[in-house]
């Protein structure tokens, strides 16, 4: 009976979080710090163990939907307008992974403002308390200035949070924070270089079997993080995965080995999260510096996957997918005798897919041209000629399987983006409605105060600033009503792509 390895869920989640952090190193500790703050808030609020576990996963992955550097940098401001796109992308990415279902729901609403209680629901759906915990934790971290000593910032951060409660933040969760803020170790831990170690000690160990289903779900998620960043790569990993699996079967690999080849195809390029999109999408020739940068992705792939026990073979194959049998590849310069057969298959699958797939700047190459390029590489000693022979002996079947797999991937990508467009338009509209509700509440309260003042015969004593505040609120309401109309029109425009989703969660 084959032994099934286990993995600590925290290690699995941390590998995804670390991969996402490669998108922009300016926010490299953001996920860890938000998770630590949210975990401490959960403890202060006596949340259940299940809720605490969900907080940990959601905190580590809350910005997974920000797939580019530009998107991540948008959220460096404290109060961000229309922040829900990356939350919705994160939800759609994670909801299919059974292990992350609850965290996905929390992430979906983690930028919903409290708005004097109106933020208890969003688009008719109840917002989990955990989402409000994440929202506060996220904004606390944004307020921290790493250039200053943390002690000098504590009172400023607490005061800024108070000023924005209950407009932005849930008062109940803010109460937990105010108690927490009085503890010196909270701030010292938060700025400690060993925070990841401190956080892992807080987490209740939870191991799961690393079955092929878990590995496949993980790999599929990771490939989407890379492929969905750019129209240039939206189906590439699926193509490499299909070719690698098909050729492995032709070579005589077992069913289990073929499944692992499929997974390796999904995972091989995850290190590209560390590569700027302007380099990945450059249609012309790369400069020498750009080429060196893009070569680093194999290294990053290995470093992302290394902490996961039980997939050591996949890590090796993926890290070698740009090596060449004659030793002229990268990042190691390994020679053929030291390159496993599975890695050689992955190398060829990557090259074959890159040549045959359509790119935005050119159609896939014809068979004659593909064979010419690959045969030249084989003659130069760069590729395993035996695998090349197997591929070309079955060219049409392999290419057909590759094309069908990438067509399915393209359909998935288009459906995914359509969902995001519709959901984003609706979320923007709902965000405006929340703000309008909160402003009307402020207006009614202010008008009631002014009415009481008038009834008491103290008209002359009405503070001028109150009248100015009322005027400001009315102007903001008019502005938001115009914005709401604009978002309603956008939402309707997006619905031309298909039937309106009966359930926003679908």
* Interval 243-259: pLDDT, tens: 999 999 999 999 999 99
User: CA distances (Å), 175 to each of 34, 42, 134, 170, 183, in order?
Assistant: 18, 12, 15, 9, 14
Task: Name residue, tokens 């502005």.
Answer: 479
What residue spans define the domains of the chain? 7-208, 212-393, 416-497
pTM over 0.75: yes
φ and ψ at residue 283, rounded to 5 degrees: -75, -25
Give burial (CB, 10 Å; 0-12/13-18/19+) of 254.
exposed
Segment (H or E) for 126 = strand 125-126
Taking 50 as the threshold, does the pLDDT of residue 500 lie above it?
Answer: no
Residues, the chain, total? 506
Q: CA-CA distance, 123 to 197, in Å (whole number)?
A: 39
Q: Do domains 7-208 and 212-393 have the same CATH topology?
A: yes
Start-to-end Cα distance in the chain: 40
Return the pLDDT at 439.
65
Nearest CA among 35, 162, 12 for reference residue 97: 12
Q: CA-CA distance, 74 to 87, in Å (whole number)?
A: 13
Q: With contact defined as beta carbons under 8 Å apart, do 427 and 88 qualify?
A: yes
* Interval 277-329: pLDDT, tens: 888 878 778 899 999 999 999 999 999 999 888 899 999 999 999 999 999 99
Q: Which CATH superfamily is domain 7-208 in?
A: Hypothetical protein af1432 (1.10.3210.10)
| Top-level class of domain 212-393 | mainly alpha
Taking 50 as the threshold, does the pLDDT of residue 501 lie above it?
Answer: no
* Interval 125-183: pLDDT, tens: 899 999 999 999 999 999 999 889 998 899 999 999 999 998 899 999 999 999 999 99
């Amino acid at each position: 009976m084959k032994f099934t390895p286990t993995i600590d869920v925290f290690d699995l989640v941390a590998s995804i979080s670390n991969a996402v952090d490669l998108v922009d190193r300016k926010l490299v500790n953001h996920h860890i710090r938000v998770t630590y703050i949210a975990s401490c808030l959960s403890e202060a609020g006596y949340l259940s163990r299940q809720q605490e576990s969900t907080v940990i996963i959601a905190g580590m992955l809350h910005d997974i939907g920000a797939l580019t550097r530009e998107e991540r940098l948008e959220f460096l401001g404290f109060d961000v307008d229309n922040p829900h796109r990356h939350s919705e992308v994160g939800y759609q990415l994670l909801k299919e992974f059974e292990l992350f279902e609850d965290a996905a729901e929390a992430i979906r609403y983690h930028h919903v403002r409290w708005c004097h209680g109106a933020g208890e629901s969003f688009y008719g759906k109840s917002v989990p308390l955990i989402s409000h915990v994440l929202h506060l934790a996220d904004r606390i971290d944004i307020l921290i200035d790493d250039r200053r000593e943390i002690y000098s910032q504590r009172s400023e951060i607490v005061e800024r949070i108070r000023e924005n409660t209950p407009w932005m933040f849930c008062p109940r969760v803010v109460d937990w924070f105010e108690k927490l803020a009085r503890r010196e170790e909270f701030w010292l831990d938060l700025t400690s270089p060993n925070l990841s170690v401190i956080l892992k000690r807080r987490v209740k160990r939870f191991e799961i079997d690393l079955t092929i289903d878990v590995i496949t779900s993980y790999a599929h998620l990771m490939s989407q993080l890379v492929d969905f960043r750019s129209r240039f790569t939206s189906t590439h990993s699926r193509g490499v995965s299909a070719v690698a699996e098909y050729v492995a079967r032709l070579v005589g690999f077992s069913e289990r080995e073929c499944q692992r080849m499929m997974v390796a195809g999904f995972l091989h390029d995850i290190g590209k999260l560390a590569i700027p999109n302007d380099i990945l999408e450059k249609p012309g020739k790369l400069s020498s510096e750009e080429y060196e940068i893009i070569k680093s992705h194999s290294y990053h792939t290995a470093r992302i996957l290394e902490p996961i026990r039980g997939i050591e073979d996949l890590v090796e194959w993926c890290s070698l997918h740009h090596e060449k049998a004659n030793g002229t590849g990268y990042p190691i310069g390994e020679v053929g005798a030291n390159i496993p057969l599975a890695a050689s298959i992955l190398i060829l699958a990557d090259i074959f897919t890159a040549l045959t797939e359509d790119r935005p700047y050119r159609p896939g190459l014809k068979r004659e041209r593909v064979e010419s390029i690959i045969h030249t590489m084989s003659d130069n000693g760069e590729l395993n000629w035996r695998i090349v022979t197997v591929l070309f002996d079955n060219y049409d079947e392999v290419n057909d399987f590759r094309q069908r797999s990438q067509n399915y991937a393209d359909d998935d990508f288009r459906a995914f983006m359509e969902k995001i467009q519709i959901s984003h338009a609706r979320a923007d509209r709902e965000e405006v409605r929340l703000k309008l509700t909160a402003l009307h509440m402020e207006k009614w309260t202010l008008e009631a105060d002014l009415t009481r003042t008038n009834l008491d015969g103290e008209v002359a004593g009405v503070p001028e600033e109150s009248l100015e505040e009322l005027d400001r609120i009315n102007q903001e309401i008019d502005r938001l009503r115009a914005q709401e109309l604009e978002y309603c029109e956008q939402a309707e425009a997006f619905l031309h792509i298909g039937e309106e989703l009966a359930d926003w969660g679908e």
